Amino acid sequence: MSRRLRRRVSKKGKEKVVAHSYTEFEEEVSTSEQNGDVNWTCLPDDTVIQLFSCLNYRDRASLASTCKTWRCLSASPCLWNSLDLRAHKCDSAMASSLASRCRNLQKLRFRGAESADAIIFLQARNLRELSGDYCRKITDATLSVIAARHELLECLQLGPDFCERITSDAVKQIAFCCPNLTKLRLSGIRDVQGDAISALGKHCPHLTDVGFLDCLKVDELALGNVASLRFLSVAGTSNVKWGVVSHVWHKLPNLVGLDVSRTDVGPAAVSRLLISSQSLKVLCALNCPVLEGDANFTVPKIKGKSLLAHFTDIFEGIASLFADITSKGKTVFLDWRNSKKTHKSMDEMMSWFEWILSHSLLRSAENNPQGLDDFWLKQGAPLLLILMQSSQEDVQERAATGLATFVVIDDEHASIDRGRAEAVMRDGGIRLLLDLAKSWREGLQSEAAKAIANLSVNVNVAKAVAEEGGIDILASLARSMNRLVAEEAAGGLWNLSVGEEHKGAIAEAGGVKALVDLIFKWSSGGDGVLERAAGALANLAADDKCSMAVALAGGVHALVMLARNCKFEGVQEQAARALANLAAHGDSNGNNAAVGQEVGALEALVQLTRSPHEGVRQEAAGALWNLSFDDRNREAIASAGGVEALVALAQTCSNASPGLQERAAGALWGLSVSEANSVAIGREGGVAPLIALARSDAEDVHETAAGALWNLAFNPGNALRIVEEGGVPALVHLCSSSVSKMARFMAALALAYMFDGRMDEYALVGTSSESTSKIVSLDGSRRMALKHIEAFILMFSDRQAFTTAAASSAPAALAEVTEGARIQEAGHLRCSGAEIGRFISMLKNPSVLKACAAFALLQFTIPGGRHALHHAKLMQNAGAARVLRATAAAATAPLEAKIFARIVLRNLEHHQAESSKGI
């Protein structure tokens, strides 16, 4: 489809057009015309470089591969100032291939120990900043070599994962090798010893910013001697001797900012540091239990000094440090960023704030300690939003991750805190996140997408995301080649597709195709992304139109592939659920049949009903239930061992969730539509567990079980089994007291099949020595059953309406009876010719079964019922009209049977008239 463009026509040479008043007309322009004869390769170099800078590395590589000019420009030093290798496989060969372009590399981000080993092969001797995460396995040797090869290094950060294998030896090496070091932030070192710290103090005269975060031990005394320090963080570090600290660190002559968040610092040390340090401006102590637990602690008020804690106003505290900024409170960060004046020391301090705050907030969000609700709503959420606008990419990422994390209050059930989510939305967070998601930086994309995904659990946020164009953005991120980005985007689409509102928009944005493609792209080794994609497709498949789109995009094949091959339970569950939903649209589309025709689909689903994971069993049974609506699928499921598997499932689900119980019973109900399957179910021992499920208090469970028992009871052998297994009292109970009319109805019909005489013949034929006692006990059961069937019929028979109908043959009177008797959902039931035939014979039964049969046929033929026409035809073929007329006219028949029979006759006439009209 081509875009509609507004294009002005102007012919060269004869224009005298006044600005803003030229004529315009709309014109469809095809793509080839659009391309025109522009020679894009002659764009000025600067602009091409700018174009490159808008793209991620993959797209840059593609663009560079198109022509010589652009290849050459793609190697421009300014595009190789900084490099983020986190998403890329980085080994020595790869690093060597980049070496020629990394000569002037200033900034490098990497991930993991293997990449760390490869860094030296980049030969980036001018590297100034190095930052790595997932560094648990980095060794002293690696870090020492890195330090030795990058003498100009000014900034080194490893974390937030703990650098468990790094010791003070490597820190010493860094001190010896990198004299220009100004910033060193390391996480999770066991013991930072005094000699290493002293070496830093001695060899790195410019070292102003040190962070030993989440370490087990640091030498406080030695830190007190690093006179160059301006900023120091020991956040999360344990075993700090605060007595030593408060008597030593205040002597650090240049110390401006100190971060002691997440430590056991107490009021005494805090007060002393604030009061006695000459230079200290800010002491940050977020999430310090001892300090927060002291009700008597009052913050020392000293001009020009601030304490930042959960119980202080952080924005005010920071704002008060600015002498020349008039703004107060929340705008301080924005005012600082927009301020044209540069003030180096202030800039350093604000950047440091951003960094330590993003760290502490993320940690707090992860641990989610009690009692922070108020803090998050008033300060935490606004701070995270401000930090997302930082110029430091890692701060932005952490803030987005923080947003994704702090709203989640229960991981297990994926529930989020509504107040927090709406606070983010209120402060413009959705727009900010979507902007980050559009960035070319994949680290930002994935974290922003994760936050959008989590927030979208809230319906109001989901609505805002959709309104701000978020669905398009997520759909395009789902196509990302970066697995983490695609995974979070798929998660977003999963959450957005929960309600009905956004399904159409997701399909329109190409989301369905993107999700299906994801499954093929990551079919091996991407459990997280596969689960989310399948989950989203499952939600989408619940919608009729979207389910067509899923099938069209190749979704059936993709999902069956997952159900067959994937070993991860989360994926199996979602794939089965998706297949269940695809097959849930009955005759309205061909997906049900399509799933069954996919090679191995039914076998895989049957296999999944044996999964150790309850969710997987439930969804697989649900899928088989829905699929069994198709005749061919039903028989194929049976030949794939479905009967045995589902009977086994029903036998073992007595303590399972109602969802599983319902689907197990439902699948057996579906299969039992054919008598051969019914017999097999009975033979396999399916009757007893179904009776047990029929005793369930859960409406959905006992209703479904009643349906299955009704089908089973058609077969006399099964009917006898139901009696023997104690099914009569269970069905009688359902028939008289279920809250579900359908359950009552189907229980009554099951009892009717059991006691219309066929079972007795069967019981007699299978004569054994016990046959007499059997028949005796059958008599008792029959009396009980018939009594309750009668009571059931009476529940649906309004006396007054009957009297009126008996007195007059006016259609209105009959209509009133129909209205009183009608069971809405019964319109969905579809009977075979044999079943209809059985009800017709039942009309001749002298007992209450006559009325019951007429009642059933009435339900099955009410005009407007989904299968009413089908039933009417079957009845015509069976010559039902004659029997019905006889019933209606019989002097001895009960009034209900006569009136119901008259209504059925009218229904038949109606259908006959309709179908002849149709011809």
Partner 1 sequence: MSSSSSSSSPSCPKKMITLKSSDGETFEIEEIAALQSKTLESMIDENCASTPVPLPNITGKILAKVVEYCTKHAEVGADAESLRAWDAEFVSVDHPTLFDYILAANFLEIPTLLNLACQSVADMVKGKTPDEIHKIFNIKSTFTPEEEEELRRENQWAFD
Residues that bind partner 1 (CB under 8 A): 3, 5-8, 10, 12, 15-17, 19-20, 22, 29, 33-41, 43-44, 46-47, 50-51, 54-55, 57-68, 71, 88-90, 94, 97-98, 431, 440, 476, 479-481
By the 8 A CB rule, do 575 and 531 touch? Answer: no
* 3-state DSSP assignment of residue 206: coil
Q: Return the HEC string of 183-239.
A: EEEEECCCEECHHHHHHHHHHCCCCCEEEEECCCEECHHHHCCCCCCCEEECCCCCC
Cα torsion through 95, 100, 104, 106, rounded to 10:
-10
**Pairing state of beta strands 191-192 and 217-218?**
parallel
Q: How far is the CB of 422 from partner 1 (least distance, A)?
A: 19
Distance separating alpha carbons of residues 51 and 430, to the nearest angstrom: 27
Beta bridge mates, 5:
27
At 780, list the tokens. Answer: 């008792």
- Smaller CB separation from partner 1, 71 or 328: 71
Q: How far is the CB of 571 from partner 1 (least distance, A)?
A: 25
Beta bridge mates, 157:
131, 185
Q: How far is the CB of 40 from partner 1 (least distance, A)?
A: 4
Q: How far is the CB of 310 from partner 1 (least distance, A)?
A: 32
- Smaller CB separation from partner 1, 101 or 733: 101
- Smaller CB separation from partner 1, 101 or 247: 101
Q: How far is the CB of 338 from partner 1 (least distance, A)?
A: 14
Distance separating alpha carbons of residues 739 and 753, to the nearest angstrom: 22
- Smaller CB separation from partner 1, 74 or 861: 74
Distance separating alpha carbons of residues 474 and 767, to the nearest angstrom: 69
Q: How far is the CB of 48 from partner 1 (least distance, A)?
A: 9
- Smaller CB separation from partner 1, 435 or 614: 435
Q: How far is the CB of 47 from partner 1 (least distance, A)?
A: 5
Q: How far is the CB of 159 from partner 1 (least distance, A)?
A: 25
Q: CA separation (Å) from 147 to 143, 652, 871?
A: 6, 62, 84
- Smaller CB separation from partner 1, 63 or 895: 63
Distance separating alpha carbons of residues 90 and 374, to the nearest angstrom: 44
Q: How far is the CB of 868 from partner 1 (least distance, A)?
A: 52
Q: How far is the CB of 52 from partner 1 (least distance, A)?
A: 9
Secondary element (H or E) of residue 648 = helix 642-651
Q: How far is the CB of 38 from partner 1 (least distance, A)?
A: 5
- Smaller CB separation from partner 1, 41 or 239: 41
267 Cβ contact partners less than 8 Å away, ≥ 6 residues apart: 290, 291, 294, 296, 297
**Pairing state of beta strands 183-187 and 209-213?**
parallel
Tell me the angle at which helices 675-684 and 631-639 cross, rounded to the nearest 10 degrees: 30
Distance separating alpha carbons of residues 7 and 28, to the nearest angstrom: 9
Q: Return the HEC string of 861-885.
A: HCCCCCCHHHHHHHHHHCCHHHHHH
147 Cβ contact partners less than 8 Å away, ≥ 6 residues apart: 153, 156, 170, 173, 174, 176, 177, 178
717 Cβ contact partners less than 8 Å away, ≥ 6 residues apart: 679, 682, 762
- Smaller CB separation from partner 1, 440 or 762: 440
How far is C-alpha 518 from the chain's CA centre? 15
By the 8 A CB rule, do 850 and 897 touch? Answer: yes
Q: How far is the CB of 511 from partner 1 (least distance, A)?
A: 15
Q: What share of the chain is helix, strand, coil (3-state, %, to 5)?
A: 65, 5, 30
Q: How far is the CB of 34 from partner 1 (least distance, A)?
A: 5
- Smaller CB separation from partner 1, 22 or 311: 22
Q: How far is the CB of 71 from partner 1 (least distance, A)?
A: 7
Distance separating alpha carbons of residues 212 and 234, to the nearest angstrom: 5
- Smaller CB separation from partner 1, 12 or 344: 12
Q: How far is the CB of 57 from partner 1 (least distance, A)?
A: 4
From the number of C-beta atoms within 10 Å of its C-beta (0-12, 13-18, 19+), residue 14 rates as exposed
- Smaller CB separation from partner 1, 76 or 139: 76
- Smaller CB separation from partner 1, 40 or 520: 40
- The residue type of 543 is D
Phi and psi for 482 in degrees, rounded to 5? -85, 120
Q: How far is the CB of 916 from partner 1 (least distance, A)?
A: 58
Candidates 432, 356, 438; CA nearest to 392 is 356
- Smaller CB separation from partner 1, 232 or 475: 475
**Pairing state of beta strands 415-416 and 408-410?**
antiparallel
Find the largest Cα–Cα distance for the chain: 116
- The residue type of 206 is H
Question: Could you tell me the sign of the dihedral formed by the alpha carbons of 248, 254, 256, 261, in that order?
Answer: negative
Q: How far is the CB of 341 from partner 1 (least distance, A)?
A: 19
Q: How far is the CB of 438 from partner 1 (least distance, A)?
A: 9
Beta bridge mates, 308:
284
Strands (E) across 717-866 are located at none
- Smaller CB separation from partner 1, 35 or 773: 35
Distance separating alpha carbons of residues 221 and 41, to the nearest angstrom: 62
- Smaller CB separation from partner 1, 68 or 917: 68
Distance separating alpha carbons of residues 126 and 152, to the nearest angstrom: 6
- Smaller CB separation from partner 1, 42 or 891: 42
Distance separating alpha carbons of residues 745 and 60, to the nearest angstrom: 67
Distance separating alpha carbons of residues 111 and 114, to the nearest angstrom: 8
- Smaller CB separation from partner 1, 514 or 759: 514
By the 8 A CB rule, do 596 and 633 touch? Answer: yes
- The residue type of 91 is D
- Smaller CB separation from partner 1, 220 or 488: 488
